[in-house]
Structures are given as C-alpha cells and as structure tokens.
C-alpha cells in the first residue's frame, strides 16, 4: 500500500510539472484546461512529441540520462525533484494518517498548494480560477460536514480571512498610494478561511508573515539580492494554512 501511495504522489508530481509549465497569465480557464489535458507533452527545446515510455516519472529521467531522446538537450532537475518530493509527502501522510477522508484532503491540498505556490513564485500571481474553486469546495465540504467545520464557521472564515488582509492593504495604500499586497493574497486567505476554524486565521497570518520575513532575509542577506523589493506571499499563506489544517484536524 505504501508503494501504491508513493507512486500516486510521484505521478501527481509529474502532472504538477505539466500544469505549472503550461500555465500562462494570459490564458482563460478553458485554454488552460485544454493545455493540461489535451495537448501532448513535447520537448521544450526541439518541440518533438514525446513517446509514452519517455513520460514515465523518474524512470524515464534515469533511462534518458537527463537528456532529450531526440535533441539531447538536458532535462531540468526540477522534474525529478518535484516527483520525488510529492511521492515522499504522500508516503509520510499515509504513514501518519492512514487512508481516510482527512488524509485524502491533505494529499489533494498538497498537490494543489504546490502548483499554486510555483505559479506565484514565478509570476507573482494567484489566479482567481485557482482560489475561487478552493473557496467554493470549502463551503460545499462544510455543508456536507466533510471538512471538520460547520457551514457557519466556513462563511465566517471567508469573511475574516478577507478582512484580515484587505483592511491592512487598504490602509497601506491610503497612506503610501502604493499597493503593498496583491489582491490574489487577499482572496487566497479568504479561500483558506473556508477550510479552517476562523479562530485559527490570525495564527495563520502570523505564521505566514514569519515565513515571509525569514524568506526575505534569506534572499537579501544570504543570496545577496540587494535590489529585492517584493516577495510572493502566496506560498507563505499556503504553507501556514496547510500546516494548521494538518495539525488541527
């Protein structure tokens, strides 16, 4: 069973790579869904369509010796790292939680949050067609008592999550005439609020801010990025939200 769960995580890690690389800020929802479901995988360098055996997670990477079969261009390590990371994460969730509703939600969240974090890291963008389904699914799960909170708590969490970032962002803009926080971050915290007890949202925000500060200091003083002015806050919210959901329920 552990091997099955690990392989499932590895396969989802492979799909996350596809979903990340085929995302573009200019896409509509329909265009994005077609890009990740219908379009066949190809080499990013020579654009040759890949055969099925060249798409087997991890194994094909090793067989091909990290090179395209056709043009021999090097295949990025990110493919392997993400596949191994997701396989390991799924295995740890299974070993700790077993197979139940909570562990399945944790695995789905892990995949969804990693994809959304990668997009925010690269584009400084949290698309509505990612955050809105997260909010609505939270409400539906709460209504059918699948997520551990009531529908009233989920609605309150959405409102509190929205206001916790919207009010400071508005005050900052009024004082400086600059946007210090993206609207995607506001919507994301509102969406996460549909899944957590609203009493935990302040803790989530404190934890996310702490992660953001550490990340900023690391980039500025360890990696010496002295011109750094902004960082993506979405991954910080996603990480703290995931940790709180993991340990609260």
**The two three-digit tokens of residue 33, written as one number:** 């869904």
Per-residue pLDDT at 147: 86
Residues whose CB is less than 8 angstroms from the CB of residue 12 and which lie 6 or more positions away in sequence, other chains included: 86, 90, 107, 111
22 inside domain: yes
* pLDDT per position as a tens digit, 212-244: 999 999 999 998 888 888 899 999 999 999 999
Whether residues 85 and 19 fall in one domain: yes
118 inside domain: no
DSSP for 61-85, written as a single string: HHHTTTB-TTT-PBPPHHHHHHHHH
Whether residues 72 and 131 fall in one domain: no
Whether residues 175 and 230 fall in one domain: yes
Q: Choose one of 99, 115, 145: the last residue of a domain.
A: 99
104 inside domain: no
198 inside domain: yes
**Do the beta carbons of residue 230 and residue 124 sit within 8 Å?**
yes
**Do the beta carbons of residue 169 and residue 179 sit within 8 Å?**
yes
Per-residue pLDDT at 228: 82
Q: Residue 92 pLDDT more than 90?
A: yes
Torsion of CA 231, 233, 236, 242, to 10 degrees: -150
211 inside domain: yes
- Exposure b/e, 1-27, CB count within 10 A at least 16 = b: eeeebbebbbbbbbbbbbbbbbbeeee
Residue 15: pLDDT band by 50, 70, 90 thresholds? very high
Whether residues 133 and 28 fall in one domain: no
Q: Choose one of 47, 81, 99: the last residue of a domain.
A: 99
Q: Choose one of 99, 118, 138: the last residue of a domain.
A: 99
Per-residue pLDDT at 119: 97
Residue 56: pLDDT band by 50, 70, 90 thresholds? very high
Whether residues 142 and 247 fall in one domain: yes
Interval 172-198 mean pLDDT: 93
Whether residues 35 and 143 fall in one domain: no
Share of the chain above pLDDT 70, in %: 100
179 inside domain: yes
Whether residues 78 and 136 fall in one domain: no
Per-residue pLDDT at 249: 80
Whether residues 160 and 248 fall in one domain: yes
- Exposure b/e, 65-91, CB count within 10 A at least 16 = b: eeebbbeeeebeeebbebbbbbbebbb
Q: Residue 143 pLDDT more than 90?
A: yes
Whether residues 139 and 83 fall in one domain: no
Whether residues 134 and 225 fall in one domain: yes
Share of the chain above pLDDT 90, in %: 84
Per-residue pLDDT at 148: 87
Per-residue pLDDT at 182: 87
Residues whose CB is less than 8 angstroms from the CB of residue 189 and which lie 6 or more positions away in sequence, other chains included: 161, 162, 164, 165, 201, 204, 205, 237
120 inside domain: no
Residue 114: pLDDT band by 50, 70, 90 thresholds? very high
Structural domain range at position 249: 127-249
Whether residues 69 and 4 fall in one domain: yes
Q: Residue 133 pLDDT more than 90?
A: yes
Whether residues 131 and 248 fall in one domain: yes
Interval 153-178 mean pLDDT: 94
Per-residue pLDDT at 39: 86
121 inside domain: no
Average pLDDT taken over every residue of the chain:
94
d(CA 90, CA 106): 9
What is the number of domains present in the chain? 2
User: How crowded is residue 213: how many other Cβ atoms within 10 Å of its Cβ?
Assistant: 12
């Amino acid at each position: 069973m552990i091997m099955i769960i690990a392989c499932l995580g590895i396969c989802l890690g492979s799909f996350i790579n596809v979903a990340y690389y085929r995302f573009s800020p200019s896409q509509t929802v329909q265009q994005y869904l077609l890009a990740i479901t219908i379009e066949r995988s190809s080499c990013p360098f020579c654009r040759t369509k890949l055969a099925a055996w060249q798409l087997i997670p991890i194994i094909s990477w090793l067989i091909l010796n990290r090179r395209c079969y056709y043009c021999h261009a090097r295949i990025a390590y990110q493919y392997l790292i993400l596949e191994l990371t997701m396989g390991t994460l799924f295995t740890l969730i299974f070993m700790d939680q077993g197979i139940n509703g909570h562990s399945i939600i944790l695995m789905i969240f892990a995949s969804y949050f990693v994809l959304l974090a990668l997009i925010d890291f690269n584009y400084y963008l949290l698309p509505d067609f990612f955050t809105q389904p997260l909010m609505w699914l939270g409400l539906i799960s709460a209504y059918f008592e699948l997520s551990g909170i009531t529908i009233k708590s989920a609605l309150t969490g959405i409102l509190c999550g929205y206001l916790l970032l919207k009010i400071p962002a508005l005050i900052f803009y009024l004082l400086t005439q600059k946007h210090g926080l993206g609207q995607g971050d506001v919507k994301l915290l509102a969406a996460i609020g549909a899944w957590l007890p609203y009493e935990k949202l302040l803790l989530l925000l404190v934890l996310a801010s702490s992660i953001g500060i550490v990340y900023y200091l690391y980039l500025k003083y360890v990696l010496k990025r002295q011109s750094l002015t902004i960082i993506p806050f979405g991954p910080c919210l996603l990480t703290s939200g995931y940790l709180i959901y993991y340990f609260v329920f």
